[in-house]
């Protein structure tokens, strides 16, 4: 399915989505947080899209907003898609987990939590993955200050 055909189909499901074809081969969708799970569920379960493979899930700090970027692929139809979700709430950034849709998301979401502080509602085991439990802050945020390296310099 072409990006245009994907966009036409998906926009019928949730009209308030934002579509872009940035400088990549993938169709990019920005979804409001409250529509994330309905969209992702439909993307996986619909026979025309069948996005059965979540091959990348990344946290992003856009400065004003924090968010998550999901790269999806249909292994049967061989099309790919990027879904983005954002929030301006830097004090308590929270999105619903997609673990029940794609099980591989469990560790990816833990990594995003660890490095960006983004919470995932209903995640089965949301805790730090790389940093120690005592670690203060989220090292991949743009506003993070590394106190130890500041002292050494």
Q: In terms of pTM, does the model score above 0.85?
A: yes
pLDDT digit string (tens) for 78-111? 999 999 999 999 999 999 999 999 999 999 999 9
The pair phi, psi for residue 43, each rounded to 5°, is -60, -40
| Domain assignments of the chain as residue spans, ordered by start | 3-152
d(CA 101, CA 104): 9
Percent of residues, the chain, with pLDDT higher than 90: 87
d(CA 84, CA 30): 5
The residue that leads in pLDDT, 148 or 104, is 104
The pair phi, psi for residue 87, each rounded to 5°, is -145, 145
Averaged pLDDT of the chain: 93
Given CA atoms 35, 19, 40, 99 in this order, what sign does their dihedral have?
A: negative
* CATH architecture designation of domain 3-152: 2-Layer Sandwich (3.30)
pLDDT of residue 45: 98
């Amino acid at each position: 399915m072409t990006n245009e055909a994907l966009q036409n189909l998906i926009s019928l499901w949730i009209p308030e989505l934002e579509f872009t074809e940035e400088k990549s081969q993938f169709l990019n969708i920005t979804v409001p947080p409250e529509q994330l799970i309905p969209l992702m569920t439909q993307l996986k379960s619909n026979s025309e899209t069948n996005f059965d493979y979540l091959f990348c899930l990344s946290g992003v700090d856009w400065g004003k907003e924090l968010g998550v970027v999901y790269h999806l692929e249909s292994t049967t139809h061989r099309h790919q898609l990027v879904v983005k979700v954002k929030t301006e709430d830097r004090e308590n950034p929270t999105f619903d987990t997609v673990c029940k849709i794609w099980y591989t998301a469990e560790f990816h979401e833990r990594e995003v939590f660890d490095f960006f502080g983004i919470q995932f509602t209903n995640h089965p085991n949301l805790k730090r993955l790389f940093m120690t439990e005592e670690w203060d802050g989220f090292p991949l945020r743009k506003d993070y200050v590394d106190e130890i390296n500041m002292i050494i310099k």
